[in-house]
Structure 1
């Protein structure tokens, strides 16, 4: 069968991109050609650089994962950078997708874009109902504007540009840099380094009380492929584990410690900020389409993620 789709993945060498690549390789579909971009392929913040990428690969479909991302403390100190870089990147990808006749774009948002003051669980209708948490307003507003642009491109030009809103993603090929990582890879790296030095006290920043929904990257990859192939609404869709799967940061730290067979003490530095207490998201819309989708059990997903880092830490993004 001849290739009928050319799918360009921005941010293709990151956490989600690598997971999508693994699932795609296992499927071996002859009607799809996949191109996974890295930052080495060009600067998506620059219009001309982005256009050259699209002219080279001529994609029919785009999965837009590339973004300036980081953890709580990196966001708090760099809100302007997060705002400007992501605005430029997103605008270039969507505008050039329109100019070159891309059939469908699926962009990746985040549950942190939702209002700080809101009712829970949050759903897709609530994205713009109030300001996001002040700790990451730059990133959040830039991501919200993707949803606005998707609707505008559809209204004015009929484009099928849509977006997904994952909960907190983790898995192999994550960012383990302690200055910019999210909580799961940050804690994995921290405990790994501690045990390498023979330490016995695992210190977690904050109280450990905030609640989060975590999705394994390979589960998210399967859902991304379903959205690309089957989901045809401009309105965003939340890709999250069920509400009952929400865990505290304390429980997360304990699960990572279990995966490492750590016998020391876990302590919480309550002088450090917790960030948003909860972001509980409803996956009712997803369940309407995929009622029987099975997520990887949290302990198993953490164990697999820890095992990957133990085997690859010398070459991981540290």
Structure 2
């Protein structure tokens, strides 16, 4: 396939949940005018400045989607806050500096709603990122991600770089990390129901099930991030989220997973486990101003597709 070398897009963290989704969408679009390279840790250790520069010199990107990060669920964050802070700061500093040196035309970095202040009015929007400290449970990861926004503005003001960022709500979908201890809530629930059904044991949910979340399907997020790469021209971040009325409780999400598996066993809530932040309701008015008619995948459909993918790919799935 012939490519127009004028646009070369490097995706860091390309083997992860969002990277795989972007790759799927790119392959479906068959745009021969763009060359896409999806990097993983096998290509370079982005905590190393020299390895980061080397891989950028090799591929010479004109555009970058920066997804690479040390990530984990609530309990891993609570245990390793310092590692999450240090390692993510190293990765972000190395990637953005390499982009500046290579004169990359545009960088889109992926943040998280956990960067927002713990004590804040709801819904949260893009103007509120730096209004107070994040929740103590994952302050290391949150502050490292929050600093990307600061760096984007600093690089723009001093060097004229076109660096921006997106803030998705809870992402889920095929190719997620389904680890029972370290994964995020929805893939963790999916793996737990799978094991409970296989073993004939109860399905145990950590916490009360009361916290509220907005879940965005990875394929939807991929389409939106590609749109941001091509069309969004602000340095300030943009929240990529389903609408506020689509927020669901962990209990409701768990019930959808049970339904998708047709699980008939007992469901138990272990209330000795922490719930984490009760809510992180995000406002997507800015996104809707740009894309008023964007159709998100209904969560029940997205969960069913993710469950089906997990069952089919159980042996090779990250878990």
Task: Confirm or deny a common fold (TM above 0.5).
Answer: yes
C-alpha deviations, 1:175-208, integer Å up to 9, x for none?
A: 0112210001111111111111122x21100000
Question: How do 1:1-318 and structure 2 match up within 5 A?
Answer: 2-199=4-201, 201-318=202-319
Kindly state the Cα deviation for residue 4 of structure 1 after the two structures are TM-superposed: 2.1
C-alpha deviations, 1:61-83, integer Å up to 9, x for none?
A: 00000000000000000000000
Q: Give the CA RMSD over aligned residues.
A: 0.7
Distance in 1 (alpha carbons) for counterparts of 2:177 and 2:211: 21
1:43 touches 1:49 (CA, 8 Å); kept in 2? Answer: yes
Distance in 2 (alpha carbons) for counterparts of 1:282 and 1:7: 29
The alignment partner of 2:42 has SS state of helix
Distance in 2 (alpha carbons) for counterparts of 1:250 and 1:198: 21
The alignment partner of 1:215 has SS state of strand
The alignment partner of 1:19 has SS state of helix
Distance in 1 (alpha carbons) for counterparts of 2:68 and 2:102: 19
- Which ranges in structure 2 are unaligned for 5 or more consecutive residues? none
Number of aligned residues: 317
1:151 touches 1:234 (CA, 8 Å); kept in 2? Answer: yes
The alignment partner of 2:72 has SS state of coil
2:197 touches 2:265 (CA, 8 Å); kept in 1? Answer: no
Structure 2 length normalisation: TM-score?
0.98
1:3 touches 1:30 (CA, 8 Å); kept in 2? Answer: no
Moved over 3 A (4+): none
Distance in 2 (alpha carbons) for counterparts of 1:83 and 1:3: 36
1:112 touches 1:132 (CA, 8 Å); kept in 2? Answer: yes
C-alpha deviations, 1:18-68, integer Å up to 9, x for none?
A: 000000000011110000001100100000000000000000000000000
Distance in 2 (alpha carbons) for counterparts of 1:293 and 1:265: 38
The alignment partner of 2:165 has SS state of strand
2:200 touches 2:265 (CA, 8 Å); kept in 1? Answer: no
Tell me whether 264-273 or 37-46 shows the greater mean CA deviation: 264-273
Distance in 2 (alpha carbons) for counterparts of 1:46 and 1:74: 23
2:18 touches 2:222 (CA, 8 Å); kept in 1? Answer: yes
